[in-house]
Amino acid sequence: MIAAQALRSNSSAGRPAASVNVVSMKPPKRSRRRIHRGESLYGVGDPFRVLYVVRVGVFKSFTVSDDGLMQVTGFPMVGELIGLDGFDTGLHQSEVVALEDAEVFVLPFAQCEQWSQESIHGQRMMLRTMAHEIVRSQDLMIMLGTMRAEQRVALFLLDLSQRYGRLGYSQTQFLLRMTRQEIGSYLGLKLETVSRILSHFQQEGYLQVQGRSISLLDLPALGQLSGLSPDRSRVAPESILDREGEFVQDHNEALRLRLTSGDD
Amino acid sequence: MIAAQALRSNSSAGRPAASVNVVSMKPPKRSRRRIHRGESLYGVGDPFRVLYVVRVGVFKSFTVSDDGLMQVTGFPMVGELIGLDGFDTGLHQSEVVALEDAEVFVLPFAQCEQWSQESIHGQRMMLRTMAHEIVRSQDLMIMLGTMRAEQRVALFLLDLSQRYGRLGYSQTQFLLRMTRQEIGSYLGLKLETVSRILSHFQQEGYLQVQGRSISLLDLPALGQLSGLSPDRSRVAPESILDREGEFVQDHNEALRLRLTSGDD
DNA sequence: CGGACGATTGAGGACATTCAATTCGAGTGG
DNA sequence: CCACTCGAATTGAATGTCCTCAATCGTCCG
């Protein structure tokens, strides 16, 4: 009954590099790229050549429909993958902008394909990463399709909380890197609605908000509002890259087990 | 300028296996499965072992949230792939039900992985199919997040029209295999709203509707309402399976052409 | 300090939902 | 063959949620 956890984080990140061991013959380090606040990683129609993994910072990805409407599709954070939207057609279908000064690993897609060919593990990482993106989209669709404004905002906050937590930051206090409008676009709401609901939550004592800084005071209450079951915390797949920017080569027992014997 | 660079690099990559032709030893035919109207292909929580490709019929896929709310995520038709939602976690995240008597190819996922390993073409098919699913989700998200009811319904009808057309059926006359409620769920609307809008469209002369049978009378008008630019037709990737249920091994200049010169 | 952008808050209105009453259609059994 | 039933679809009226418009305030940066 999981489904309703509408915001499975697209994160991975945060893994202690314990069991990771990198191949003997090291390929060159992935190149990095610095992005300034407000700068664009790529835009709609740009040719697809590389994937990115966030190293520092928070981004927003969004699409623009034919008639100019904008829809934010995600807020990729540290450890998360960016760029898959270009693979299908060879041209990027969305735009990605840094919400703060940031840095990414740059992965020529050809390398990913090669990696995927050379190792079963690499193949699974690639496929799984993409599959995860599909599931994440479905969750977002549930939210946009069936939930009310309060529920959406609560869910959004809890998702952020979880992701920050996984990165080792506070789960209850953080800065929103995005504007109300961007939040609204992501949630299918108008910025005023988002603002109103945040104020309302504050009035109820669920949280404290001042501009971009948020402090969650009553996680259980928010959880209840969001309508998700307390237990579940679906784990995102580990990142394709380790902290050094190398492909994660390790053969994770857990993963293999689940995939091969995998029925429950 | 296109995906080309990244995608084209097949030749000397990891595999000496020539460019194609692992075909010589043909694997056995894919098994098939018949599904009766209303029957379920799989449910939430079922273990993920196989993928399906629709051979006959129309399905609906949907997720159920903790509180019982349903969100339809798609209406897979002939030639389309079903089941990827289970790959990420190893358990299916959604349920798929036949809206009419149907038949599917059953593909053990292990075979897909193998196929993906053996041929560069297979790998690309797999990845591209998944990438396409991601893009499709994003489109749906735009719809759910930013569009008004009329726009959604118009878009839905045009999408159906296009898909039926591609299958060789009439683009302007077809039977809706799903109820108003299911359409509504898919579009993030209530069934009454869908019904009202269809009636309204009929009143305006855009279409004729009687129960499940629809006849589109003014495609341009619907296109305008939907907010699509006139040319815009997002092309789905060819199916993973051919009509016989065999993996599509190569053939085609078509794909390569599109990938290499594909932008313009 | 001033300007620009983001955020808050209020009032009124639009659009979709909810509730409710029929109608239609297919399938069943007398 | 015709009533009967059940689910689906249509349509109306009232309600509610969220949006639009607008004014104000706050904050960040020049």
pLDDT in tens, A233-250: 667 888 888 888 888 876
pLDDT at B179 over 90: yes
Q: What pLDDT, on a 0 to 100 scale, did the predictor assign at position A263?
A: 47
Average pLDDT, chain A: 85
Residue A14 has pLDDT above 60, yes or no: no
Comparing alpha-carbon positions, the chain B residue that sits nearest to A10 is B88
For the ranges A42-56, A241-255, B145-159, which has the lowest average pLDDT?
A241-255
With 0-12 / 13-18 / 19 or more C-beta atoms within 10 angstroms meaning exposed / middle / buried, residue B26 is exposed
Q: What is the mean pLDDT of residues B98-124?
A: 92
Q: CA–CA distance from B209 to each of A211, B45, B115, B175, B176 (Å)?
A: 50, 38, 45, 10, 10
Q: Which residue has the higher pLDDT, B18 or A133?
A: A133
Query: What number is the average pLDDT over the span A43-71?
Result: 93
Q: Is the pLDDT of residue A166 over 50?
A: yes
Q: What is the mean pLDDT of chain B?
A: 85
A238 contacts: CB under 8 Å, gap ≥ 6: A12, A15, A125, A248, A252
**Which is more confidently placed, A169 or A233?**
A169
Per-residue model confidence as pLDDT tens digits over A175-199:
999 999 999 999 999 999 999 999 9
Q: What is the mean pLDDT of residues A101-115?
A: 93
Inter-chain residue contact A117 with B15, CB threshold 8 Å: yes
Closest chain B C-alpha to A11 CA, distance in angstroms: 13
Reply yes or no on whether the pLDDT at B68 is more than 90: no
A58 confidence band (pLDDT: 50, 70, 90): very high
pLDDT of residue B16: 43
Supply the pTM of this predicted model.
0.85
Strand C: which residues 187-216 of A lie within 7 A (CB)? Answer: 191-192, 194-196, 198-199, 209-212
Residue A253 forms contact with B (CB below 8 Å) = no
pLDDT at residue B181 tops 90? yes
**Confidence band (pLDDT; 50, 70, 90) for B4?**
very low
Which pLDDT band holds residue A8 (cuts at 50, 70, 90)? low
> What is the mean predicted confidence (pLDDT) over B85-113?
94
Neighbouring C-beta atoms of residue B21, cutoff 10 Å: 12
Residue nearest to nucleotide D8 (CA to C1'): B179
A148 touches strand D (CB under 7 A): yes
* Nearest-nucleotide field for A211 (CA, C1'): C7
Backbone angles phi, psi at A220, to 5 degrees: -55, -45
